[in-house]
Amino acid sequence: MPLTAPPFLRSPPFPWMANDIAAVSTAGASTLADPTALVAAIREARVGGAFWVREQDPWRRSDEVMAARPSDDSAIIAWIVGGKVIDRAGTPVAEDVLRGAALDRLAAAAYRDPYDGGSIDAMAAVSILAGWRRMIDQNRPIASATGMAGWKRDAIAQFLWNGGDLRFTSPQRALDGDGAVAYWPSRVPGGFAAAAAARQIEAWPIEDGFLRSNGLGAECRPPMSILVDRTGGIYFDPGRPSELETILATHDFDPLLLERARALREAIVSSRIGKYGVDIASPPPHDLPENRRAILAIGQVDDDLSVVHGGAGLAGNTEFLGRVRAEEPDAFIMYRPHPDVVAGLRRGRVADPVAAGLADRMIVGGSLLDLVERADGVHVLSSLTGFEALLRERPVTVHGSPFYAGWGLTRDLVAQPSRRSRVLSLDALVAGALILAPRYRDPVTELPCEPELLVRRLAQTPSPRSTLITGFRRAFGATRRTLAAAGERL
């Protein structure tokens, strides 16, 4: 049939993206390879029609509808879910009429991949729309966001889009409103979550995802992935359950998901991708001694919330290094400070760990992943590098309580939460931490996407691009480093 209405399978009107770029369908025609399977997939995903409309989701009122034509969105949705369709005269419309109208409407469009513009089939379009629907549904309760730095608000608005406008406001005003509040934990007053609970307001913390961006967050590069914890916990705080921890503790990781996780892990490793993009290989500054166990100790930002909450009470990098030396007295210890600390943008500088006997070598530049792969073991407090080492199947010793400890994959030096009583495979950990829990956006189109696409995009752009704001942050960090070094010499 000629296309006289918008395609039934169509994209939401993402406010930051032109409709022709975001479109999963255009005027044209398609052959439906397996109509029965396609309809079943649409029914499960609940996509088609204006499914993103916040107050009038057509899938919520589909048991019995009155429709002008059997090809209307409302009639097709009602038929798909097994509802009843009545014409304007009050007469029920026959099921074979509805089926024919629905399949004609689905075939009266050409389907496209919004990420690269290529042709896809209707089933692939349903898969893309299903991911977008999940994100929109998860975001529907959110009324406002607070504690978001100005330079990342555009990205956060994309992650939290729910079919309407997101209001950025102060912490106090957020608590005076209705609906859930999304907040950045390190940028709201202490006690914010408790105040929200006292007012019976859901407060959902947000944190960077584990495949974050191409370049440092401290250089004001917006995130390409985040975690929104709808339980009110957060993955770096072992003091209470988090959404990620609950997924790892309870999810049924089926074989298809585990195979997807394995393929994703292999793509990350082969592309040399870490939290801040591609880790470009570089020759090590010195050879490692052949007669000693080589240990890589990973420094962190002293006041990072993952250290404050998941650091098992350690005061900072100096104390952490002392414990690494106590655990590995005969090892050759390489100390790798955090890049934000090296850049002079965050706290955590250790003056001279080699002179203090805490490390045999401090390695600032070069490839972190080269060091991970060359080391006989990796010691971390709560650093994500421990997770990245696990992806590469390296032995990891944990001094704190990061999200990946306690599942039988790490050597844990402190007691982990009793909630983590399950033994996980590495691919189950990857499935929970990189597929099920985070949200991703495509750095090219800025559309919500799956992690596999982000990995491909990061692999295609190994070097981060500089902007005015990243240049300013680098200059600011260089000034701080100079002042810190001058203070040590006095």
Other Cβ atoms within 10 Å of 457 Cβ, number? 19
Whole-number Å distance between alpha carbons of 307 and 314: 8
Reduce the DSSP state of residue 30 to 3 states and report it.
coil
Q: Distance between CA 396 and CA 379 in Å, rounded? A: 6
Q: Which residues contact 190 (CB under 8 A, 6 or more apart)?
A: none
Cα–Cα distance between 329 and 315 in angstroms, integer?
21
251-278 pLDDT tens trace: 999 999 999 999 999 999 999 999 888 9
Closest to 221 measured CA to CA, from 478, 461, 481: 461
pLDDT at position 220 is: 77
Amino acid 352: pLDDT: 84
Q: What is the pLDDT of residue 489?
A: 43
User: What pLDDT sits at residue 485?
Assistant: 45
Each residue's pLDDT tens digit, 386-396: 999 999 999 99
Q: Do residues 102 and 79 make contact, with C-beta atoms less than 8 angstroms apart? A: yes
Record the pTM.
0.89
For residues 9 and 43, give the distance between their C-alpha atoms in angstroms, rounded to a whole number: 12
Report the DSSP beta bridge partners of residue 225: 440
Comparing CA positions, the residue from 131, 69, 128, 134 lying closest to residue 104 is 69
Rounded Cα gap, residues 144 and 473, in angstroms: 28
73 Cβ neighbours under 8 A, 6+ residues apart: 8, 48, 49, 50, 58
Helix 122-139 vs helix 35-45: crossing angle, to nearest 10: 10
CA–CA dist 133, 436 (Å, integer):
15
* DSSP string over 256-319: HHHHHHHHHHHHHHHTTEETTEE------SSPPPTTS-EEEEE---TT-HHHHHHSTT--SHHH
Helices (H) and strands (E) in the chain, counts: 18, 20
Which structural domains are found in the chain, ordered by start? 19-134 (no CATH), 141-208 (3.40.50.300), 284-428 (3.40.50)
Mean pLDDT by 10 residues, the chain (490 residues): 76 95 96 97 97 89 88 95 93 96 97 98 98 97 96 96 93 92 95 95 96 73 95 95 98 98 98 90 75 95 85 85 96 90 74 87 90 96 96 97 98 97 97 98 96 96 53 43 44
**What is the CA 175 to chain-centroid distance, rounded?**
26
Contacts of 205 (CB under 8 A, 6+ apart): 182, 183, 184, 185, 193, 228, 229, 232, 233, 234
Q: How far apart are CA 153 and CA 183, in angstroms?
A: 12
